[in-house]
Structure 1
């Protein structure tokens, strides 16, 4: 797996990462959503450097100009519900992309720390021979992304697979490396220290879905 760790180089990305982690601004859900969206825009820009382009000639009011545009057909697929704001950041830059949404969540059958991943709702464009961008803000254990990936592969074979997460734990990265093809690209804004005993990222930022959309039952 090819790993792209974006916060290793200082940029405004780190400024936004600090804000989404800060408990002193967590009560402003609109600011949290906007910062996740802006992080998505920055990640989309960085990822765009790995895409393929074609030369085109455009007409201006005063003449013609040769330039380039994205050649690849992209399919953005986010994992509900936390992935929605990240999805919008990517869609702001890849505005002609096709889209998909999949629900995946931790199911605790015994009401303890053990869980499995349930993948239910799926609405997604054709991924066959296209460029799949799978989006999820948090990479904790990696089980949700792998479960969604396996479901998507039942629909077709993408030309390339890119996974974009904002905050990742080393354990989740290792899990993806073990269960996903070596040809996958993993884009990470920031790598944190570890998972705690409840499989949450430390220091992390809390529950991204709750911070963006309110507490769930």
Structure 2
């Protein structure tokens, strides 16, 4: 798997990541969602450089010009609910894309430090020959993204697969390497070194879904 860690080079992306992590700033849910959306836009822009382009003639009010435009059929798939702001950022740039949504969450067993990934909802177009973008802001253990990929397999084989994440842990990145196709590509804003005993990224930023949309009821 090819990995593009955007934090390896300094850019305005650093500001958005810092605000996501800052406990005083992340209390503003609107700003938290917008920062994830902006990071999605940056990830999408960088990923767009890897697409296939074709020449098209564009007519202006004064003349015609040849433009190089992407020809990939893109499908954006987000893991609910935390993936929604990231999805919106990507959709701002890939506005002609088809869309898919999946719910993949941690179901904790008797031991609170153990869990399984449960998929309950899935809506997806045909993926055959298309460019699939899987969006999930937090790449902790990597199990949710792998479960998502497996759940999508009945919808066809995509031409290529791109993973979009805001913050990940090294263990999660390694898990994707071992469980996704070798030609998949990861685009990520920052990679942290540690997972704690409950599988959360440290230093990370907390629960992205709760910070974006409010705390969920446990059942």
TM-score normalised by length of structure 2: 0.98
Which residue pairs with 2:99 in the alignment? 99
Task: Work out whether residues 75 and 100 of structure 2, in 8 Å CA contact, stay in contact via their aligned partners in 1.
Answer: yes
Alpha-carbon separation, structure 2, partners of 1:207 and 1:24: 15
- Aligned residue for 2:167, secondary structure, equals strand
Q: How does 1:49-198 map to 2 (within 5 A)?
A: 49-110=49-110, 112-198=112-198
Shift of residue 126, structure 1, vs aligned partner: 1.4
| Stretch deviating more after TM superposition (104-113 or 130-139) | 104-113
- Deviation (angstroms), 1:109: 2.6
Deviation at residue 137 of structure 1 after TM alignment: 0.1
Note the alpha carbon deviations across 1:7-49, whole angstroms, 9 max, x for none: 1111111110001100011210000011110000010000000
Paired residue secondary structure (1:105): strand
Corresponding residue for 1:203?
A: 203
Alpha-carbon distance in 2 for matches of 1:62, 1:119: 53
Deviation at 1:125, TM superposition (A): 1.6
Structure 1 runs of 4+ with >2 Å offset: none
Matched length:
217
Check conservation: 2:102, 2:122, Cα contact below 8 A: yes
- Equivalent residue of 2:24, what SS? helix
| Aligned-partner SS, 1:153 | helix
SS in 2 for 1:23: coil
User: Over the residues paired in the alignment, what is the CA RMSD in angstroms?
Assistant: 0.7
In 1, Cα distance between the equivalents of 2:111 and 2:213? 24
For residues 64 and 152 of structure 1, the distance between their equivalents in structure 2, rounded to whole angstroms, comes to: 42
In structure 1, the residue corresponding to 2:163 is in which secondary structure?
Answer: strand
- For structure 1, list consecutive stretches of 5 or more residues without a partner in the other structure: none
The whole-number CA distance in structure 2 between the counterparts of 1:158 and 1:59 is 33
State the SS of the aligned residue for 1:40: helix
Q: Distance in 1 between matches of 2:123 and 2:109?
A: 26
Distance 2:192 2:41 in 1: 21
Q: Please give the alpha-carbon distance, in whole angstroms, between the structure 2 residues aligned to 1:43 and 1:156.
A: 25
Q: What TM-score do the two structures reach when normalised by structure 1?
A: 0.98
C-alpha separation between the residues in 2 aligned to 1:27 and 1:146?
30
